[in-house]
Amino acid sequence: MKKNIFIKYLLVAGIASVAIFSGCRKETAADKVGGQAADNGISFVGFPDGLEQSHFFDPFTNIKTVDVFSIKRDAKSAADLQKDQTVVLKAIPDAITKYNDDNGTEYELLPTSLYTISSTKVTATTSGNLNAKFAPGDFQNYFTIKLDGSKFDLTKKYALAYIISDAAGLSIHAASKDTLYTFFAIKNKYDGEYHSTGTFHHPTAGDRAIDRDKTLTTAGATAVSTEIGDIGGSMTLTVNEATNEVTVSGNVSATQPLLPVPGLTNTYDPATKSFILNYRYLGGGGYRVVEETIKHK
């Protein structure tokens, strides 16, 4: 589940296992966390897996236990490793809005109704902040939740955002001083990057070729959304997994719904991971008909 974002932390992870027996960080230049220590006399705290951590799931309706992120204490000595320290992570939900603005995404704050906290070392306060408690001998703790798939809206993507606001006397790793984002989304098997080819048939302007990349995004257990032909907007493709027939739905405008083409069936080919589609909508001069095949890359 956890993905190492910064390769420089790999060495530290290996050394951490030695710390179980030695009780402290080795006093060598190679052992300094990410080379960030000004000298060998500093104890650090930070997020060893990076500041952006994504959790993608197949559709599920039960309760799933998720290690959301880990926080690590890199002690300079055996004495520091034996300290009882509590690091405070401040919740900053407004940072999610800024992240969306900066990256063109649409994440929402993960509602507390969707999860409960199951970790005993990283727990929530009444204000929504987190306390990461390092007992004597602890060097790495996990923020673990139980996520309720039955309440998860498959059409939405969620996030949590925190920053270390009180390091309990420890120095914060340089790579962990900014905002920690954790992302949650459900991706069904049709979600992904595709390429579309086909023809847009116009009643008066004639035909034009379709040849473009498309992203198909989870919109339900067996549904994905993507743009309409090569004109933008949004349509939903829903697969009947018993027959592999596809229902195309959406609207070019409030008065222009997408309609089937008489005599033709929309299908999904699991062998080639392709949507073979024919649909139309009514405009001035007659129907615009879209004939396209959307194939997984």
Summarised one tens digit per residue, pLDDT across range 139-170 is 999 999 999 999 999 889 999 999 999 999 99
Looking at residue 41, what is its pLDDT? 82
10 pLDDT above the threshold of 80: no
Give how far Cα 161 sits from Cα of 29, 87, 118, 198, Å: 32, 16, 18, 42
What is the share, in percent, of the chain residues with pLDDT greater than 90?
82
User: What mean pLDDT comes out for the span 212-219?
Assistant: 95
What is the share, in percent, of the chain residues with pLDDT greater than 70?
87
Looking at residue 172, what is its pLDDT? 96
239 pLDDT above the threshold of 70: yes
| pLDDT tens-digit readout, 59-82 | 899 999 999 999 999 999 999 999
- The stretches of the chain forming alpha helices (DSSP H) are 9-22, 78-81, 94-103
Residue from 197, 231, 192, 194 nearest 211 by CA: 197
34 pLDDT above the threshold of 90: no
User: What mean pLDDT comes out for the span 238-263?
Assistant: 96
Quick one: which H or E segment has residue 194?
Answer: strand 192-202
Tell me what the pLDDT averaged over the chain comes to: 88
247 pLDDT above the threshold of 80: yes
Do 183 and 53 touch, CB atoms closer than 8 A?
A: yes
131 pLDDT above the threshold of 90: yes
User: What mean pLDDT comes out for the span 262-291?
Assistant: 97
Looking at residue 40, what is its pLDDT? 57
Looking at residue 64, what is its pLDDT? 96
Residue with tokens 């139980």: 146
| pLDDT tens-digit readout, 197-210 | 999 999 999 999 99
Cα distance between residue 125 and residue 129, in whole Å? 5
33 pLDDT above the threshold of 70: no
User: What mean pLDDT comes out for the span 25-52?
Assistant: 62
Q: Is 75 helix (H, G, I), strand (E, B) or coil?
A: coil
| pLDDT tens-digit readout, 108-120 | 999 999 999 999 9
- 255: tokens are 């008065």
Looking at residue 1, what is its pLDDT? 44
